[in-house]
Amino acid sequence: MKIAGLLLTVLLPAGMACAQNALDCRIAPGWEASGPIRQYTAENLFDYKDGAAEGYLSYGFARMSSIDCKSGSDTLTIDLSEMNDADAAYGLFTSNRDSQLPIAKIGMAGQIQPQSASFAKGKYYVEIVEVAANAEADHTALMKAFATGIEQRLEGRETLPEALLWFPKENLDTVRLVPESVLGLKLLKRGYVAKYSQGQAFVVLEATPESAAEVMKKLRERFSGATSAQIGDEAFQAKAPYLDGICVFRKGRYLAGYANLPDAQQAASLAAKLAARLP
Amino acid sequence: MSSNTSRRDFLSAAISAGLALPVLGASSAMGQQHSAKSAASPVKLDYRTLGRTGLKVTTVGMGCMITSDPSVVARAADLGINYFDTARGYQHGNNERMVGAALGAKRKQIVLSTKSEAPNKEELQKQLETSLRELNTDYIDIWFLHAKDNVADVTDELIEVQQRAKKEGKIRFAGVSTHKPLQLLPWMAQKGVFDVALTVYNFTMDASMDQAVEVAAKAGIGVVGMKVMAGGMHQQKPGDPLYKKLTQDGAMLSALKWVINRPNITTTIPSMTDMYQLDENLRAMGNPLSASDEKLLTAHLDAIRPLYCRLCGQCDGDCQKGLPVADVLRFLTYADGYGQFALGRERFLELSAEHRAVRCGDCADCTVKCPHGVQVARRMARAQELFA
């Protein structure tokens, strides 16, 4: 057993080997592991998560360690995912969290529910899911104990991604990282989308100002009837099916704007405020 | 097409003859075609009847699992796609909420399916109520028991909840989704309580898959195909010569066209994340599988030829240790070809202890040769290394 453990540690990247120590079922009194830690990579994640694996992969998944814990007849599973970076971990959290429930301060952000918990800290994303005999059972305290216990054993950033500071707070509903096709547009590959009580804002970061300008050019061609606006380095506004009033601007290598507003002028007005907040 | 004919032979023969495939192009004979009214451009829509449900659905549906933006769902509905699939578990429930909001007033004009992985009746009932609430609807057209890969997992109590929901009008039709159709589809056909099956299905699969689908279809079960490219893409990794070709624009369309032109598949649910993918997938309807589509798919099958046993039954010679070579290679295909390691291993472990103990590396020379070029000894050794 010791040899197997040593071998596992040698085979895993150093960071993940340390992080794996966080997978300790004994965090909560009366709980113990009911099997060995399982390892998954992008190659075999489908075997475990089925189609849901696509969600992990789209956000930049590196590897996962998973363990089953038991206490009497109750069981729970802890999945510790290592993502490519902290933004990816936070992004996966925002994709999976229940947007109608409050955020808890666990790591960068977390969420505790009666039979599950999740949080992101540094490049790690953790999910704890209980398989309770009684679907109505409220094990919020247990979920919190596991989440905070694991979080304390993990190293990594606890501050939210800088992108969250860019979006104006007034009437802000949720902010999430969309891994591809922001606003349903293939040209906007990956970026943050903030949903407001009316409309949505987005920020996409391109590699260089030149590549951003190229995307901007193609975007403008897509929106027939677009007119220029004076925001950032270049901007346009338009009225479009499905996206309603939209304004897109480029500031350096940032592509950003507002969509789904009643008219393009309103989108442009809000976009100007967003531009002022971007670096 | 004879069910015994290998898929690759079939594709190759068609290409060498320079012909469009008559059976593959049978959709217009089986279904109906209409032009959707669209602000963008007219889209030809193919419809088929989903088994005993009688529902007329477009052959290209929309898998919403990884769709982030509701505008893509809304536009798909506006363009005429009328089958939408989500699940309680997708994006931890956020997906159902997004789909429900995006479809809005179009709800009654479309066929909406969702799924639950709940393992017991209490949880299943609870998830149904949650799905109805999140999808903002008072009925679900097709409610699947999600990811059931063993017959034993489809318990009587789960079926009871489905049937009760049907009587109460909360769902219209009952289904099961599976990644192990060879096990589940024949069983579903016999069971007689399911209306729809959602199954993995793509161009790399062997004739046994078609037989299983046919059994289900003949029993009146509507068959929906998912992961239409997954099995094929699974073989290729970034850096492989064919990877770029298969991931380039158009490859997905070829694979999708192949599936929707199969005789017993009613509709498909390719994932779509943006307008471009939506527009491309729509082109699968109303366009026959072309020679270039076939060439691309055949190229992929060529790439996996040394690996891929198509169960043609034409093995030259018998194993001196008595191993069922084709079966073991099939188990390996489950793992390597479809990403179904668990199924492959499960099947391997059903072999006799004597057969499980054989190691092909112990033989000086393999007496079994494949007429299609499968490297039998090497692949058998891999199966033993992987499963034993």
pLDDT in tens, A10-65: 455 656 667 778 999 999 999 999 989 999 988 788 778 877 787 888 888 999 99
Question: Mean pLDDT for chain B?
Answer: 81
Which pLDDT score is estimated for A76? 93
Q: The domain that contains A172 carries what CATH number?
A: 3.40.1000.20
Report the residue of chain A nearest B40, measured CA to CA: A241
**Is the predicted pLDDT of residue B204 greater than 80, yes or no?**
no
Which pLDDT score is estimated for A200? 96
Which pLDDT score is estimated for A196? 96
User: DSSP letters along B126-154, please?
Assistant: HHHHHHHHHTT-S-EEEEEETT--SGGGS
Within-domain flag for A92: yes
- Measured in angstroms, the CA of B137 and the nearest CA of chain A are apart by 19
Closest CA to B122 of A133, A76, A74, A128: A133
Within-domain flag for A158: no
Cβ contacts of B120 on chain A, cutoff 8 Å: 135
**Is the predicted pLDDT of residue A3 greater than 70, yes or no?**
no
Token output for A221: 């061609």
CATH topology of domain B7-300: TIM Barrel (3.20.20)
Tally of domains within chain A: 2
DSSP count for chain A of H helices, then E strands: 9, 14
User: DSSP letters along B322-360, please?
Assistant: ---HHHHHHHHHHHHTTS-HHHHHHHHHTS-HHHHT--G
Contact across the interface for B92 and A182, Cβ inside 8 Å: no
**Is the predicted pLDDT of residue B14 greater than 60, yes or no?**
no
Are residues A225 and A91 both part of a single domain? no
> In this structure, are residues B260 and B46 in contact, taking their beta carbons and an 8 Å threshold?
yes
- Per the model's pLDDT, the better-predicted residue between A6 and B247 turns out to be B247
Cβ contacts of B234 on chain A, cutoff 8 Å: 46
As a whole number, mean pLDDT of residues B27-35 equals 41
Contact across the interface for A55 and B91, Cβ inside 8 Å: yes
As a whole number, mean pLDDT of residues A148-161 equals 95
Q: The domain that contains A125 carries what CATH number?
A: 3.40.1000
Which pLDDT score is estimated for B385? 84
Query: Residue A103's CB: how many other CB atoms inside 10 A?
Result: 17
Are residues A201 and A238 both part of a single domain? yes
Q: Among A224-238, B210-224, B314-328, whose mean pLDDT is lowest?
A: B314-328
Which pLDDT score is estimated for B248? 59
Which pLDDT score is estimated for B207? 76
Contact across the interface for A184 and B94, Cβ inside 8 Å: no
Confidence of residue B231 (pLDDT cuts 50, 70, 90): very low
Pairing of strands B43-49, B56-58: antiparallel
Are residues A186 and A252 both part of a single domain? yes
**Is the predicted pLDDT of residue B176 greater than 60, yes or no?**
yes
Q: Which amino acid would we find at residue A255?
A: L
> Which residues have C-beta within 8 Å of that of residue B216, sequence separation ≥ 6?
B185, B186, B188, B189, B197, B223, B264
B337, exposed or middle or buried, with CB in 10 Å at 0-12, 13-18, 19+?
A: buried
As a whole number, mean pLDDT of residues B254-280 equals 90
Are residues A149 and A254 both part of a single domain? no
B74 touches chain A (CB under 8 A): yes
A149-182 in b/e form (b: 16+ CB < 10 A) is ebbebbebbeebbebbebbeeeeeeebbbbbebb
Which pLDDT score is estimated for A190? 92
Q: Report the residue from B89, B230, B339 with minimal CB separation from A52.
A: B89
* Residue at which a domain ends, from A129, A153, A177: A153
A256-267 in b/e form (b: 16+ CB < 10 A) is bbbbbbeebebb
Contact across the interface for A99 and B123, Cβ inside 8 Å: no
Q: Report the residue from A136, A179, A242 with minimal CB separation from B71.
A: A242
User: DSSP letters along A89-108, please?
Assistant: HHHHHHHHS-TTS--B-SBT
Cβ contacts of B269 on chain A, cutoff 8 Å: none
Report the residue of chain B nearest A189, measured CA to CA: B274
Residue percentage of chain B with pLDDT more than 90? 44
Confidence of residue A130 (pLDDT cuts 50, 70, 90): confident
Which pLDDT score is estimated for B240? 53
Q: Report the residue from B92, B123, B339 with minimal CB separation from A47.
A: B339
Are residues A145 and A168 both part of a single domain? no
As a whole number, mean pLDDT of residues A207-234 equals 95
> In this structure, are residues B105 and B99 in contact, taking their beta carbons and an 8 Å threshold?
no
Q: Report the residue from A98, A134, A179 with minimal CB separation from B93.
A: A98
Token output for B182: 């060879």
> DSSP label at A162?
T
Pairing of strands B171-178, A172-178: unpaired
CA–CA separation, B363 vs A79, rounded Å? Answer: 43
> In this structure, are residues B337 and B328 in contact, taking their beta carbons and an 8 Å threshold?
no
The per-residue pLDDT for range A235-275, each reduced to its tens digit, is 999 999 899 999 999 999 999 999 999 999 999 999 999 99
**Is the predicted pLDDT of residue B177 greater than 90, yes or no?**
yes
> In this structure, are residues B338 and B200 in contact, taking their beta carbons and an 8 Å threshold?
yes
Which pLDDT score is estimated for A228? 97
Q: Which of B243-247, B284-288, B308-312, B326-330 has the highest mean pLDDT?
A: B284-288
Which pLDDT score is estimated for B235? 47
Cβ contacts of B97 on chain A, cutoff 8 Å: 99
**Is the predicted pLDDT of residue B160 greater than 50, yes or no?**
yes
Are residues A79 and A130 both part of a single domain? yes
Token output for B115: 């799924």
Task: Name the residue range of residue A116's domain.
Answer: 2-153
Are residues A15 and A122 both part of a single domain? yes
Which pLDDT score is estimated for B290? 86
**Is the predicted pLDDT of residue B68 greater than 70, yes or no?**
yes
What interface predicted TM-score (ipTM) does this complex get?
Answer: 0.71
Report the residue of chain A nearest B200, measured CA to CA: A51
Contact across the interface for B65 and A181, Cβ inside 8 Å: no
Are residues A167 and A144 both part of a single domain? no
Question: Mean pLDDT for chain A?
Answer: 90
Which pLDDT score is estimated for A98? 86
Which pLDDT score is estimated for B27? 31
For chain B, give every residue range classified as CATH 3.20.20.100.
7-300
Q: Which of A128-132, B188-192, B376-380 has the highest mean pLDDT?
A: B188-192
* Residue at which a domain ends, from A153, A183, A211: A153
Confidence of residue B21 (pLDDT cuts 50, 70, 90): very low
- Per the model's pLDDT, the better-predicted residue between B334 and B39 turns out to be B334
CA–CA separation, A14 vs B327, rounded Å? Answer: 41
- Measured in angstroms, the CA of B328 and the nearest CA of chain A are apart by 20
Query: Residue A122's CB: how many other CB atoms inside 10 A?
Result: 20
The label of the residue with tokens 């475990």 reads A48
**Is the predicted pLDDT of residue A6 greater than 50, yes or no?**
no
Which pLDDT score is estimated for A224? 86
Are residues A212 and A267 both part of a single domain? yes
Are residues A173 and A149 both part of a single domain? no
- How far are the Cα atoms of A74, A272, B2, B153, B353 from residue B31, in angstroms, in the given order? 51, 52, 22, 34, 50
**Is the predicted pLDDT of residue B3 greater than 60, yes or no?**
no
CA–CA separation, B90 vs B96, rounded Å? Answer: 7
Which pLDDT score is estimated for B312? 53
Which pLDDT score is estimated for B305? 62
- Per the model's pLDDT, the better-predicted residue between A159 and B40 turns out to be A159
**Is the predicted pLDDT of residue B238 greater than 60, yes or no?**
no
* Residue at which a domain ends, from A126, A153, A180: A153
Quote the radius of gyration of chain A (alpha carbons, Å).
22
Q: Report the residue from A58, A131, A186 with minimal CB separation from B274.
A: A186
* SS3 sequence of B32-82: EEEEECCCCCCEEEEEEECHHHCCEEECECEECCCCCCHHHHHHHHHHCCC
Which pLDDT score is estimated for B15? 28
